[in-house]
């Protein structure tokens, strides 16, 4: 994870092992309360499966790699 919170984003690069895939992967982006998730992209595509209240981005267990960008 790399924080660019001052400019409104945090990005993360996720790599899952090929040997065992999970049913789903939840990635938590914890930030100060004054910041709320507004939008998410995964591999450059708009992503709607995220929970701003819990600060989670939810991915299916199938991608081996994912580049996540959370916009605040």
Please give the chain's pLDDT, 72 residues, in tens.
999 999 999 999 998 777 666 688 899 999 988 899 999 999 999 999 999 999 999 998 766 789 999 999
- CA-derived radius of gyration, the chain: 12
Rounded Cα distance, 67 and 45, in Å: 10
What pTM was estimated for this model as a whole?
Answer: 0.87
Tens digits of per-residue pLDDT, 14-30?
987 776 666 888 999 99
Query: Where do the structural domains in the chain lie, given as residue ranges?
Result: 2-71
């Amino acid at each position: 994870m790399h924080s660019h919170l001052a400019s409104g984003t945090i990005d993360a690069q996720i790599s899952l092992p090929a040997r065992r895939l999970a049913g789903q992967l939840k990635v938590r982006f914890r930030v100060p309360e004054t910041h709320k998730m507004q939008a998410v992209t995964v591999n450059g595509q708009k992503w709607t499966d995220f929970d701003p209240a819990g600060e989670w981005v939810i991915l299916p267990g199938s991608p081996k790699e994912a580049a996540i960008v959370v916009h605040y």
